[in-house]
């Protein structure tokens, strides 16, 4: 089967916005020659405040259209909200391998010394039964405190547009976790939204010393490399950043996108 794959067939990474770039950065280290389409559903962002039905419908519909247009060899849903809600559904409808992004509760449970883990995600992610299952499976003997931090999604977007973000924005999520019973003992924080990995430095300042952060980007990149092992990669055209809404990207996000090797901007 492997030899049938066109070497220029891309890996498609999908998120509501720039969050999945945290996954792309790790993927580049492992597969520098892989052609990439980075898709951001800027028309639908934020996902975290939407209902399960809204997110599932958008993600399945958009990925179907993108798969038809770009014929990816693999799709990565580089978004915790979309993955915890719609991974199963998307796997039903697309015929390519799909890699999802789910909160890194398992590694966090292995890392914590205090036994208290904080989890920062979107409102939609923290209420998913998928997260309950991960907690039950890997952190049953730990305390997992969950906190929605929707403001960090836009903070990461603003950071990549080169705009200044006020430190209190980063402090809100930290304070929300610390204020919960047992929160003062948190020593490990799961960044359960791909956007949050882009502002890890700012979050580290907000939490103060003694807190380690964990997210799935490296593991996801390894999974993609594993699933495409033995395949040839040949980039025939510049890698594409694909948006679902035609808005000014050129003067704002384009420099950051170019920093991730996405030289070409397209709209769905």
Rg of the chain (C-alpha set) = 18
Residue with tokens 């990549």: 160
State which of residues 195, 198, 216, 233 lies at the interface with ligand DGL (CB under 6 A).
Answer: 195
State which of residues 14, 15, 170, 244 lies at the interface with ligand DGL (CB under 6 A).
Answer: 15
Which range of residues in 16-24, 90-98, 127-135, 230-238 is near ligand DGL by CB under 6 A? Answer: 16-24
Q: What mask, x for binding ligand DGL by CB under 6 A, covers residues 140 to 169?
A: -------------x----------------
Sheet with 36-40, strands from edge to edge, namely 98-99, 74-77, 11-15, 36-40, 239-243, 262-267
Residue with tokens 């170019």: 258
Which range of residues in 2-10, 15-23, 62-70, 171-179 is near ligand DGL by CB under 6 A? Answer: 15-23
Cβ burial of 112 (10 Å; 0-12, 13-18, 19+) is buried
Q: Is 76 a catalytic residue?
A: no
Residue 118 in the binding site for ligand DGL (CB under 6 A) = no
Residue 16 in the binding site for ligand DGL (CB under 6 A) = yes
How far is the CA of 148 from the CAs of 125, 151, 192, in angstroms? 8, 9, 10
Which range of residues in 14-22, 61-69, 130-138, 213-221 is near ligand DGL by CB under 6 A? Answer: 14-22
Residue 81 in the binding site for ligand DGL (CB under 6 A) = yes
Shortest CA distance to 101 belongs to which of 38, 19, 36? 19
3-state secondary structure of 71: coil
Using CB under 6 A, list all residues that contact ligand DGL.
15-17, 19, 45-48, 79-81, 122, 125, 153, 193-195
For the annotated catalytic residues, the residue numbers are 79, 193
């Amino acid at each position: 089967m492997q030899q049938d794959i066109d070497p220029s067939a891309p890996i498609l990474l999908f998120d509501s916005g720039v969050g999945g770039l945290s996954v792309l950065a790790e993927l580049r280290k492992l597969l520098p020659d892989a052609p990439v389409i980075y898709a951001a559903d800027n028309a639908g962002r934020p996902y975290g405040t939407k209902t399960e039905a809204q997110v599932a419908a958008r993600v399945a519909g958009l990925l179907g259209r993108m798969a038809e247009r770009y014929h990816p060899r693999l799709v990565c849903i580089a978004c915790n909200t979309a993955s915890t809600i719609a991974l199963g559904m998307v796997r039903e409808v697309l015929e390519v391998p799909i890699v999802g992004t789910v909160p890194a509760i398992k590694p966090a449970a292995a890392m914590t010394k205090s036994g208290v883990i904080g989890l920062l995600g979107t409102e939609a992610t923290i209420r998913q039964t998928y997260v309950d299952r991960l907690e039950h499976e890997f952190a049953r003997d730990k305390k997992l405190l969950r906190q929605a931090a929707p403001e960090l999604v836009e903070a990461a977007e603003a950071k990549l547009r080169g705009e200044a973000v006020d430190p209190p924005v980063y402090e809100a999520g930290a304070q929300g976790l610390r204020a919960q019973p047992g929160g003062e003992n948190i020593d490990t924080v799961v960044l359960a939204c791909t956007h949050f990995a882009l502002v890890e430095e700012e979050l580290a300042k907000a939490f103060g010393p003694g807190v380690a952060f964990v997210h799935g980007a490296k593991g996801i990149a390894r999974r993609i490399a594993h699933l495409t092992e033995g395949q040839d990669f040949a980039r025939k055209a510049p890698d594409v950043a694909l948006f679902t809404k035609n808005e000014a990207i050129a003067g704002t996000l384009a420099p950051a996108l170019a920093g991730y090797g996405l030289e070409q901007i397209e709209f769905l």
